[in-house]
Amino acid sequence: MTKPKEKSVESIVDWFDQHKQSFYILGWSYLKNQQQMEELFYRSIVKVHKELRYKRDLSFETWVTSIFLHICQELSDDRSLQVSEKVEPRHDLFNALDQLEKVEKDAVVLTYIKGISQEDTAKLLQVSVEQVKEYLFSGLQSLRKGMGDGSHFNGCKEYQQNYIDYIERTLEREKKVDFEVHMYHCQDCQEDFAAFKEIMYTLLNFTESMKDFHVPSDFMEKVMARLTEEDKQRRLKRKKRNRMGIVFASVFVLLMGIEVFTGSFTSLYYTWAEEDPELREYLNQGLGKRLDLEAESNGVKIKIRSAIADDVQTLVFYEIEDTAENNQYAIIYNDGASVENDYDIMNRETGHMYYYFPDLKSDQNNKEKNVFQGKLSLLALTKDSGTIKLKITQLLKLVRDPSDPNSFGAYENMEYKKGEWNFEIPVTKWPSKEYALDESTEIEGIPVRFNKLTIAPTATILKYAVNNEHPEKRVEFLTADNLEVNNKKVKATIYDSSYTDFDMNGSTFQTKFPSLYGEKPKEINVQFGYARLTVEHQETIELDPSSKYPQTFEYAGSTISIDKVEVGKTTNVIISNHDIENRAFESLNLDIVSEDENEINSMEMNSEEVFVDKNGIIDMNKNPVAFDEFEQPRYFTTVLDIHLKGKNAAENVIPKKLIINGYNTTKYLDDVVKISLKK
């Protein structure tokens, strides 16, 4: 197996699709139903994509297997899933494997089901090769019992340890001769070895036969559909922000300053010398110092002015001067800027990357046409202090929009300045205060639990979790709008909430607020923003290509039109619903099947949408579109254009049924929850 050449989710899905057979069998060794299998592939793809850029000592195949195995174990250990979900028929061997000790099962499954070497198995289990052999032997012995072999284990122990190496022909010659001589004279060992060899061959023959094991034809399509749906809202935001001159997706609005710290002192020097009010506040509080590190390349000078680190993030304040022309540039992390020693110094496991819009409204960025001051958010440190090795190879050119000088050019017209700027930035991490929370509430009948409040010098973080225990309705995303601590209220923007983790039971989220550093919470009030919901509401509509269209049907209180069913090598189905007033859903989760359910090879969907807020439909052609000024914005799909292709390119695809599985909707919330602190 080779590593995907690209780092996109699609390339990783393609890689899993090419190797789905062996991983599918590996999954069934631990799991008991199809829904768990889909969750397993989904979570594995997400985790591989998230961690693909990190360095590792294992080969790509072994590394992916380690992730896959870990998620297998998480899902198999989840008792709530085992009770609540349907258990599907499995091969007797899989059921027998469930009876083994964990390490025995892992060793047997990796070595004989997945087919990796004992050396790689040892790396994954973090044990020696000799220990792997012991686990394999004891595991195979246990399988004999589990599969009804009533024979006794009467072989000589000093020779039993050589069974596996002898069968696999890896036993040293001297030991091999001694083993064969002993077998010739010992009846007990002959019987014991024969029984052991039989179970081992049964396992190997089973693995060989599983090469023809049928993976459901729509399995990877379902996994990809979920990935697509989860990512849809983020891609929609990016698409809309591109139109208003925002150049990167899922980013967070710039925090304009922080609250004055309790018990702080005032520095006359920084009051007069530092014009950036946010950085000046940090410096006045003694949370950082002026660095003024400089590097110049290709006519552009970059100055690292200061760096402020805590448990949430590491803020780097910079200034860029174009010494040759009147241009302004910004640093974009992972797009020309990287930390060379991030593996050694940054918190990659629990850290969260934040982004800040280039601020063209500030006074300092409107004084000179060739100077720009900005800030860069990096991951938090793993140590109390260290040196960040920041490497910059390109800068984003900020081209101001003539119709709005406070915004810059669209994503598709980005320009870059090449060069090489290297910095070694000394940083000291300042402590944060964490408060365990003890409160829960419900959103649309779904439990929400508040976990933790973190008050750090650079930000305030609220973490909360959704328990999607009712499959008919799920909260896919939940934002917090306002946070009030000791009668001091801070507000988040719609971009400040994000996932931190997710599983089959629900998701954990966090919202970043302006810093409340120095506050000692006595009372906490949280007001939610909005919840994005998925509702399971299945309905099947028969399709007849010979009938005349358009035709209508009722769904979730709305009238939906099937405008076209046009059969061909690429079959076209168009459905629409332009009446969005009081509509229960924003988009539908649907599928189309043919009479032969395996006939359809691919389904491509193109959509038309309208953007609305409380005051009605928004004209998206207006430039610029001030998204932050809208009240309760929502995107409604009005037309869905579906293209179907069959496995046999020479035959027409004839659709028979339109299956609507459910819909997505957004609920804006006014709930305010009072939260007590754990004692």
**Which residues, 6 or more positions from 508, have their beta carbon under 8 angstroms from its beta carbon?**
451, 463, 464, 465, 466, 499, 500, 501, 502
> What is the distance between the alpha carbons of residues 183 and 196, in angstroms, rounded to a whole number?
14
What pLDDT does 258 receive?
32
Q: What is the pLDDT, as a whole number, of residue 628?
A: 58
Asked if the model's pLDDT at residue 260 lies above 50, the reply is no
Start-to-end Cα distance in the chain: 52
The per-residue pLDDT of the chain, averaged, comes to 81
Q: Which of 13-22, 71-80, 150-159, 398-407 has the highest mean pLDDT?
A: 13-22
* Site of tokens 């971009």: 495
Longest dimension (CA), the chain: 96
Could you give the domains of the chain?
Answer: 9-212 (no CATH), 268-430 (2.60.40), 433-534+670-675 (2.60.40.1640), 537-665 (no CATH)
DSSP symbol at 255: P
pLDDT value at residue 264:
35
What angle (nearest 5°) sits at the alpha carbon of residue 54, between those of residues 52 and 59? 70
- What was the pLDDT predicted at 511? 93
The predicted-structure confidence for 383-406, as pLDDT tens digits, reads as follows 899 999 999 999 999 987 766 655
Tell me what pLDDT residue 493 has: 78
Q: For residue 182, give the nearest of 166, 198, 169 by alpha carbon.
A: 166
Residues 6+ positions from 294 with CB-CB distance below 8 Å: 301, 302, 303, 304
Taking the C-alpha atoms of residue 295 and residue 160, their distance in angstroms, rounded to an integer, is 67
Is 638:587 a contact under the CB 8 Å cutoff? Answer: no
**Rg of the chain on CA atoms, in Å:** 30
The Cα–Cα gap between 559 and 555 comes to 6
pLDDT over threshold 90, residue 254: no
Measured distance CA(540)–CA(593) in Å, rounded: 10
pLDDT tens digits, one per residue of 198-253 = 888 777 777 777 666 667 877 888 888 888 777 665 556 555 545 544 433 333 33
Summarised one tens digit per residue, pLDDT across range 318-362 is: 999 999 999 999 998 888 899 999 888 998 776 666 778 788 888
**Res. 315 pLDDT band, cuts 50 70 90:** very high
Range with the lowest mean pLDDT among 27-36, 73-82, 162-171? 73-82
pTM of the shown model: 0.57
CA 652, distance to chain mean position in Å, is: 38
300-310 and 293-297 beta bridge pairing? antiparallel
Q: How far apart are CA 401 and CA 151, in angstroms?
A: 82
- Provide the β-strand partners of residue 507: 466, 502
Alpha carbon 162 to chain centroid distance?
45
Percent of the residues in the chain that have a pLDDT greater than 70, as a whole number: 82
**Residue 568 to residue 577: CA distance in whole angstroms:** 25
The model's confidence at residue 412, banded by pLDDT at 50, 70 and 90, is: very low
Residues 624-674: tens digit of each pLDDT: 455 556 778 888 999 999 988 887 777 888 889 999 999 999 999 988 999
- Predicted confidence (pLDDT) per residue in 527-571, tens digit: 999 999 999 999 999 999 889 999 999 999 999 999 999 988 888
Spatial neighbors of 6 by CB under 8 A, at least 6 apart, are none
Q: Which DSSP string do the residues of 268-330 spell out, in sequence order?
A: HHHHHH---HHHHHHHHTTS-----EEEEETTEEEEEEEEEEESS-EEEEEEEEESSSS--EE
Read off φ and ψ for residue 403, nearest 5 degrees.
-80, -15
The pLDDT score that the predictor gives to residue 305 is: 94
The answer for residues whose C-beta is within 8 angstroms of residue 50's C-beta and 6 or more apart is none
Cβ density class 585-613: b for 16+ within 10 Å, e for less: bbbbbbbbbbeeeebbeebeeeeebbbbe
Output 587 or 614, whichever has higher pLDDT: 587
Q: Which amino acid would we find at residue 479?
A: T
Which segment of 350-354, 582-586, 609-613 scores lowest on mean pLDDT? 350-354
Report the pLDDT value the prediction gives residue 598, as an integer from 0 to 100: 59
